[in-house]
Chains A and B, each alone.
Chain A
Amino acid sequence: MKKVLFLCAVAAVTFSACQKETPVVVPTIVTGTKTISVAFDPMGTDNFTLFRFSDSSVVANTDSASANWDFGIRFTNFIVNSHAGGPGNAGAILQDGTFDATATAPTSGYAYDTTASTRAIKDVSWYDYNPTTHAFTPKAGKVFIFKTADGTHYAKMELLSVTYGGLVGNPPAPTILYYTFRYTYQANGTTTF
């Protein structure tokens, strides 16, 4: 992972170097697109699938009682690592706009999971469900801004698609949901992406 970090940093340097002559503070940015598979669990009984931005990894659920993860997904529910969600200091804002045009993270206004049912990211706020095709499509133009579990870093994230997988039976019923999202993590602690 360090190599990737390094590469990104190099890329960023090269890129900014091409654009501007004056040297600037080089941000250490982790950026990418990730697809994670989550058990299809409409009844909401399984564990959340946990994710950490700093090294783009899925965190084992045995590690859930730590600040090693930033957010988790289960069906249409998001969990954020703080307060009722976990021992960390994470927070989230769901704002309108395009991913590319979101240049900075707000310094305040982050929501937390205040209780197990009052989540930072409201269940129905980020997708449209089509009862005919059963598709649930992430709404376009919704950008998730996260304060990470350590409370000192910021990341922006856009959900690109949610698709069914692991089809079993006829008519086919899904067993897995694939969440594809892109994100940018600012490792230097500033709010600029």
Chain B
Amino acid sequence: MKRIIILLIVLSACTSAFSQKKKVGFDNDTLSEIVVTSTRTATQLGNVAVPTKIVSKKYIEQTGSLKLQNILQELTGVTIVNSNLATSLNGYPNPFGQGIQMLGLDPAYTAVLIDGEPLVGRNAGILKLGRIATGNIKQIEVVKGPSSCLYGSEALAGVINIITDLPVSEKIGIQFHAENNNTFSETVSYANQIQKTGVQFFLNRYSTGGYDLDPNIYGKTIDPSRDWNSNLKLTHQLSQKAELLLSLRKFDSKQDCNYMINWQSAPAIVKGYTTEKDNTAFVQFKLRTSPKTNLFLRTFYDNYSNKSFANLASTDMRFDETSFIQNIIKPEIQIEHNSEKLKLIGGIGTYFENIDASRYSGKQSLLTTYSFFQNEWFMLQHKITLIAGARADKRTDYDWNVSPRIAFAYKANSKWKFTASAGYGFKAPDFRHMYLNFYNSQIGYSLIGNQILSSALQTLQQQGELEAGANISPYLQTRPLLPEKSFGTHIGAKYNQSNFSTEIGIFRNDINNLIDVYLLPFKKTNSRSIYSYQNINSIFTQGAEIDSKLKLSKSLQFSIGYQYLEAKDKKIIQQIKEGKLYKRDPVTFQTTTVSKSEYFGLSNRSKNTFNCKLLWENKNTNIFLRAIYRGKYGYSDVNGNNIIDDNREMVKGFWILKFATEKYIKKNLGIQLGIDNILNYTNPIQMPDVSGRIYFINVNYSFNHLFNKH
């Protein structure tokens, strides 16, 4: 890792020397780019006071990637991780997919939005990123740091907002994508503006044959699947002051499963599939009540379902079956007022959700009422921006939760900008923490949600399923779960010159009341353990990141990014201090105490992550090379203390290299070729979602010329 740091220093030195000599027109448009996520209202990126990154449509096209996670992993400080539970053991499929780790927090703590509205369907806290088609993404906005002040629950680590295309003048496009593993994708898009009405339509089909990383194990590592993604957007200008937006989204996927189990002491093959569907509708009415004031009335509706089954292949007997249905209705009013020195936004809304799931006890519903308010002051000719805001959330089952945030930006001159922000984030206990009633017959444990624990234990005891003498009385009045809370701070500096820019930031987050499973001190009569959820841990994450971009020539651009991260459990540190944490070498069986320096931190977190990119482009052609490094990270305990403090407990660091080149043969016909994972990195058990080397081709064709009548 030291080598990389040295490389960074050398590169920065080179760049400053370089930039003094040459003054090529550097596209500064990243600062004038409009973002909406950081303040919930359209703002120029250059004026934003909280750490915000954007991924443009052009960038997505140049990568040629169809998978959102492959694009996000190229951002500094964003790591794509599996759930700790999501290893592919004996070919058993990983149902969780991959999620986003930001600021060292698990995927459950980053809010993922599409056009400002929540993406629904978390499984064990993870939203499967692969289900989002990339073809209609206008830009991705990534806000790091607690953002509950605007977005409420889940936005502890930050927000990823995927902004999709809006209607433009007439445009029809098709795209065909093919890669190895029998992976194909076909896309049709249409946009038009007919007088006061705009239309945007997008349809994508994606299918893959999956792949097998370990032929010695029955079944593929990733089984075949196919996805349909569609989006229809309509806009209508009702009057000079009023505008209507309707957006309908539909996602439909089918994923096969085919694996081997041990059934009645003999191997047996199990086959089935999972269907996942997500239908959303969004309506927004925008009214300009005065030249400086806008009023938004909006409603979001979502119907998500995930159903799976698996049959014993020999007898067709049902082996496993699950279903999960979630509905959400979210009406909201937002008002914003802009003036020369002040920008004000405020809003109120409710979030109603219900769940009917086979693993949950009964149908459950929750209602959250919320309001938010934020004021932005501009001082000294916009040299200083000051933001203060807060959001209050009241969910039916716990008290008001208030999340304030303040942020500050100072533009010293045209080159330097400094920012500082601090805020609170929270995550409400989710349905699984409260209502899960799950018995895993394969592994043999019960996991019971906090809210239903007392009734579930009473039922078990009445039915004689608890071991004799089990004292359930302390669990009949369980302490209700509290929201998980975080406080985060970020300090940053950005230097920007015609052909060189660099941005550094340091951050620290303290998270309390983390919900985790705990083991009950008694078992079922069949000796199987019972787990439930409680607020247990306190952790912190801290680190630093740097992003530099250099324009080497008119057509050549180079960038690097690096993040250093520490993420640790406070209780573990306390135990180490007291000399009460031991380790037992798995080979020599020597037991000793753990020292502070041996404690690596929470599992699944890399201390060092790095990326670099080289882009060459002219009018019709581009070549894009990217490299991503994920440093070693903890995986599983081997020395008897359940923490990561030994190299044998870690996954080795690895590189992913990617290459893509695109050429427009005609103005309306582009062909792109590429290779992902050039080094063919694979890790069947610990990283089953990383396929081997991928070769792909993209053909883009647009019919725009047919409409050009002049």
* A contacts, CB < 8 Å to B: 33, 42-44, 75-77, 96, 98-100, 115-118, 122-124, 128-134, 137-141, 158, 160-161, 168-171, 173, 180, 182
Docked-complex contact B640 and A140, CB < 8 angstroms: yes
Contact B529 A118 (CB under 8 A): no
Report Cα–Cα, A44/B593, bound state, in Å.
34
Q: Which 6 A-B pairs have the closest CB atoms?
A: A141-B582, A140-B640, A117-B469, A44-B527, A140-B584, A140-B582
B209-231 CB contacts (< 8 Å) to partner A: 218
Interchain residue pairs with CB less than 8 A apart (19): A33-B589, A42-B444, A98-B592, A123-B523, A124-B529, A131-B443, A132-B85, A138-B584, A140-B584, A141-B580, A141-B581, A141-B591, A141-B593, A141-B640, A161-B586, A168-B265, A169-B266, A170-B260, A171-B261
Given A132-B85, A137-B642, 20 additional A-B pairs, CB 8 A: A44-B526, A96-B582, A98-B593, A117-B467, A123-B522, A124-B519, A129-B529, A131-B85, A132-B89, A132-B636, A133-B636, A134-B443, A138-B640, A140-B583, A141-B582, A158-B591, A161-B586, A161-B589, A170-B267, A171-B260
B528 contacts A by Cβ under 8 Å: yes
On whether the beta carbons of B443 and A99 are closer than 8 Å, the reply is no
Does B637 belong to the interface (CB within 8 Å)?
Answer: yes
| C-alpha spacing A96/B580, complex, angstroms | 8
Cα–Cα distance between A134 and B641 once the two chains are bound (Å): 16
Contact of A116 among B85, B468, B526, B580 (CB under 8 A): B468
- Interface flags, B461-481, vs A, CB<8A=1, else 0: 000000111100000000000
Contact indicator per residue, chain B 105-129, by CB within 8 Å of chain A (1) or not (0): 0000000000000000000000000
State how many angstroms separate the Cβ of B438 from the closest Cβ of chain A.
12
Asked if B526 and A99 sit within 8 Å, CB to CB, the answer is no
Residues B248-265 near A (CB distance < 8 A): 260-262, 265
- Complexed CA–CA distance, A77 and B523 (Å): 11
Interface string of B53-86 (1 = CB under 8 A from A): 0000000000000000000000000000000110
Known A128-B640, A140-B640; contact A42-B527, beta-carbon cutoff 8 A? yes
Among residues of B, the one whose C-beta sits closest to the C-beta of A160 is B589
Of chain B, the residue at the smallest CB distance from A125 is B521
Q: Write out the residue numbers on chain B whose beta carbons fall within 8 Å of the beta carbon of A140.
A: 582-584, 591, 639-641
CB distance from A129 to the nearest CB of B (A): 7
Docked complex: B23-50 residues within 8 A CB-CB of A: none
Residue total for B at the interface (Cβ-Cβ under 8 A): 45
Report B84-98 residues with CB < 8 Å from chain A CB: 84-85, 87, 89-90
Q: A75, A99, A171: which contacts B262 (Cβ < 8 A)?
A: A171
A173 contacts B262, CB within 8 Å?
A: yes
Q: Does B352 contact A (CB under 8 A)?
A: no
Using a CB-CB cutoff of 8 Å, which residues 504-548 of chain B contact chain A?
519, 521-523, 526-529
Contact mask for chain B residues 576-597; partner A; CB cutoff 8 A; 1 contact, 0 none: 0000111110100101110000
Pairwise interchain contact B526-A115, C-beta atoms closer than 8 A: no
Interfacial chain B residues near A77, Cβ < 8 Å: 527
Closest B-chain residue to A123, C-beta based? Answer: B523
B641 CB contacts on chain A under 8 angstroms: 139-141
Q: Is B301 an interface residue (CB 8 A)?
A: no
The secondary-structure label for the interface of chain A is loop
- Chain B's closest residue to A129 (CB) is B529
In the complex, B445 has a CB within 8 A of chain A: yes
CB closest chain-B residue, reference A137: B640
Residue from A43, A133, A137, A161 having most chain B Cβ neighbours under 10 A? A137
Q: Do B443 and A115 touch across chains, with their CB atoms under 8 A apart?
A: no
Are B469 and A118 in contact, CB atoms less than 8 angstroms apart? yes
In the complex, what residue of chain B is closest to A44 when comparing beta carbons?
B527
CA distance A116 to B260 in the complex (A): 38
Residues of A within 8 A of B445 (CB): 131
A139: nearest chain-B partner, CB-CB = B640
Q: Which residues of A contact B527 (CB under 8 A)?
A: 42-44, 75-77
Establish whether residues B89 and A169, one from each chain, have CB atoms under 8 Å apart when the complex forms: no
Structural contact, A133 and B89, CB atoms closer than 8 A: yes
Instruction: Give CA–CA (A128, B522) in the complex, Å.
Output: 15
Contacts of B521 in A (CB 8 A): 122-124
In angstroms, how far is the closest chain A Cβ from the Cβ of B457? 15
Q: Are A182 and B589 in contact (CB under 8 A)?
A: yes
Smallest distance from the beta carbon of A96 to chain B beta carbons, Å?
6
Q: Which listed residue (A75, A123, A139, A169) contacts B267, Cβ 8 A?
A: A169
Residue on A with the closest CB to B517? Answer: A131
**Smallest CB-CB separation from B586: which chain A residue?**
A161
CB pair A117 B529 closer than 8 Å:
no
The complex places the Cα of A43 from the Cα of B441 at a distance, in Å, of 12
Measured between beta carbons, the chain A residues less than 8 angstroms from B467 are 117
Per the 8 Å Cβ criterion, residues 627-680 of B in contact with A are 636-642
Q: How far, in angstroms, from A150 to B85 measured CA to CA in the complex?
A: 47
- Measured CB to CB, the closest approach of chain A to B503, in angstroms, equals 38
Pick the residue among A75, A98, A130, A173 that contacts B591 (CB under 8 A): A98
Chain A residue, CB-CB nearest to B83? A132
How long is the Cα–Cα vector from A47 to B444 in the complex, in angstroms? 21
Q: Compute how far the CA of A44 lies from the CA of B265 in the bound complex, rounded to whole angstroms.
A: 18
Cβ-closest chain A residue relative to B523: A123
Cβ B528 vs Cβ A42 within 8 A: yes
Closest to B592 in A: A98
- The residue in chain B whose Cβ has the minimal distance to the Cβ of A158 is B591
Q: Per-residue CB proximity of B242-283 to A under 8 Å, as 1/0?
A: 000000000000000000111001110000000000000000
Contacts of A131 in B (CB 8 A): 85, 440, 443, 445
List the B side residues contacting A137 at CB < 8 Å.
637-638, 640, 642
Cβ-defined contact, B470 with A117, below 8 A: yes
CB closest chain-B residue, reference A142: B582
Contact A173 B265 (CB under 8 A): yes
- Chain B nearest CB from A108 CB (Å) reads 23
User: A33: nearest residue on chain B (CB-CB)?
Assistant: B589
Instruction: Tell me how far the C-beta of A28 lies from the nearest C-beta in chain B, rounded to whole angstroms.
Output: 25
Residues of chain A lying within 8 A (CB to CB) of residue B522: 117, 123
How distant is the Cα of A130 from the Cα of B531 in the complex, in angstroms? 13
Instruction: State in angstroms the CA–CA spacing of A130 and B443 once bound together.
Output: 10
A117 adjacent to B584 (CB under 8 Å): no
B150-191 CB contacts (< 8 Å) to partner A: none
- CB contacts (< 8 Å) of B218 on chain A: these are 170
Query: Shortest beta-carbon distance, A97 to chain B, in Å?
Result: 8
Are B85's CB and A171's CB within 8 A?
no
Given the known A-B contacts A124-B529, A128-B642, A134-B443, are A115 and B468 also in contact in the complex, defined by CB atoms under 8 Å? yes
Contact with B84, one of A42, A96, A132, A173 (Cβ below 8 angstroms):
A132
User: Do B469 and A116 touch (CB < 8 A)?
Assistant: yes
| Nearest CB on A from B698, distance (A) | 37
A180 to B260, CA, bound (A): 31
Q: How far is the CA of A45 from the CA of B84 in the complex (A)?
A: 32
Q: How far does the Cβ of A69 sit from chain B's closest Cβ, in whole Å?
A: 22
| Distance from B419 Cβ to chain A, minimum over Cβ atoms (Å) | 40
Q: How far is the CB of A43 from chain B (nearest CB, A)?
A: 5
Q: Report the separation of the CA atoms of residues A139 and B639 in the bound assembly, to the nearest whole angstrom.
A: 8
Give the residue name and chain of the A residue nearest to B588 (CB). A160
Q: Is the CB–CB distance between A98 and B582 below 8 Å?
A: yes
Q: Nearest residue in B to A143 (C-beta to C-beta)?
A: B591
Q: In the docked arrangement, what's the CA distance between A168 and B264, Å? A: 12
Q: How far is the CB of B83 from chain A (nearest CB, A)?
A: 10
A77 (CB) vs chain B CBs: closest residue: B527
B389 to chain A, nearest CB (A): 41
Determine which residue in A75, A123, A140 has the highest number of CB atoms from chain B within 10 A of its CB, and name it: A140
Task: Select one of A132, A158, A160 contacting B87, CB under 8 A.
Answer: A132
Distance A58 CA – B592 CA, assembled complex (angstroms): 29
Bound complex: CA A160 to CA B421 (Å):
49
The complex places the Cα of A91 from the Cα of B26 at a distance, in Å, of 78
* Closest-CB distance, B547 to chain A (whole angstroms): 35
